[in-house]
Amino acid sequence: MSAALLDRLLSGRLANPDGAGMLQVPVRSVVIARGLAAAACDLIAPLGLGGRLAAVMDPDTRAVMGEAVADALRRDYRVEVICFGDSPHPDMEAVSFVREHARGADGIVAVGSGSLNDIAKHAAYLNDIPYAVFGTAPSMNGYASSSAAITEDGLKKSLASAAPRGIFLDLEVMAAAPARLIAAGVGDSLCRATAQTDWLMSHLLLGTKYRQAPFMLTADDEEELLGRIGSIAARDVKAVELLARMLVMSGFGMTICGGSYPASQGEHLIAHYIDMLGRNLPRAFHGEHVAVATMTMAALQDRILERESLTLSPSAETERDFIAHFGEDLGRSCWRAWLPKRIDAAAADALNRKLAADWPLMRARLRTVGRSQAALGQAYAAAGAPLVNGQIGVPDDFYREAVANARRIRDRFTFLDLAAAAGQ
């Protein structure tokens, strides 16, 4: 069913469930199939990337697909390979490296997945040139989004970026990706449950914008993937195809909503905190952090939704508290990001009146969109994804710090904020 949804979405024939008209996305082509490197010229030709292409890769992605893509493209294009010396970190330094080396390019072709894709799409955006991506792992949901998770001035941000004109996911390459990368993709896809619960709660309580469209795009594939979750670790191609399409559709959901709201809430705040402030931790993938944080958020959501009433207290936090925790520059930056959702005495009174009247109905509706911690834990375990912080080398003390303070790094109001205000 979702393959048909994807075709209708790309052709502008998928009705918008949130209003009139059809859903629109800027991506022209999505191909999830085998043998795509050899077909690179035919895949890129309709996209209008220009005659001079910068092919961005790292040593690992160059070996599995990048060199083959660059060689195939040289038939019809002038190709400059931009290869990082090691796996790059998604920060402005890496973005500047790509921008500088792609100065003469008409378009960028990224060959890679998470960090590399984010770096390439933001560099393309800043250089005002189009880009396309050949994915090398079903590890994250950022392929189709028009934002990139980039660290700038020490703070992990979701920055406006170029949406790809084409997304090409080779199933043989995807299925052969390291098992941890595939499990990371499961982590970044099934967090839909906690992210949607957070976003809907913010809508019901605070009136923030909310849409059904992104969840319509992934619903069928999520159910089918859960039915096949035991075969994902064995690299079953059908299961990998489901995961890949679900990740693409999740990215489209973010693009349709103009931000990462439907796929990045409390669980991603925890993951971003670990990425920003973790020091000397073993290397772990973004989706692994997300899987562990999703388990935490699901437990927190379960616990709060069991409560028959909630009373919120005003925040007593000050800018000095943020500076004391994060340091001068990052503390001020986090304070500015967090301040719009700060609950003062007047806001607490208004929210408590709303909760007194509406909490039973809110609880019932929120329970229709989430999944319990137990259900998510079974799925993650079957896929080989981590469940607790010790499995990804994050010490208990630092993980507790991350969970307690992640709400301070962004203005999204999640169950982390609700729990803090409710004294949970």
Task: Pick the more confident residue, 31 or 152.
Answer: 31
Amino acid 1: pLDDT? 55
Q: What percent of the chain has pLDDT over 90?
A: 92
Residue 110 and residue 135 in contact, taking contact as beta carbons nearer than 8 Å: no
pLDDT above 60: residue 396: yes
What pLDDT sits at residue 2? 76
pLDDT in tens, 278-315: 999 999 999 999 999 999 999 999 999 999 999 999 99
Tens-place pLDDT, residues 341-362: 999 999 999 999 999 999 999 9
CA distance 178 to 94: 24
Contact 372, 239 (CB under 8 A): no
Please, what sign has the CA dihedral across residues 391, 393, 394, 397? positive
Identify which of 168, 124, 126 has the alpha carbon closest to the alpha carbon of residue 143. 168
Taking the CB of residue 335, how many other CB atoms lie within 10 A of it?
Answer: 19
- d(CA 312, CA 308) in angstroms, rounded, equals 14
Mean pLDDT of the chain: 95
Q: Which of 146, 152, 139, 97 is nearest to 121 (CA)?
A: 146
Instruction: Confirm if 43 and 168 have CB atoms less than 8 A apart.
Output: yes
Radius of gyration of the chain (CA): 21
CB atoms within 10 A of CB 328: 10
pLDDT average, residue stretch 322-344: 96
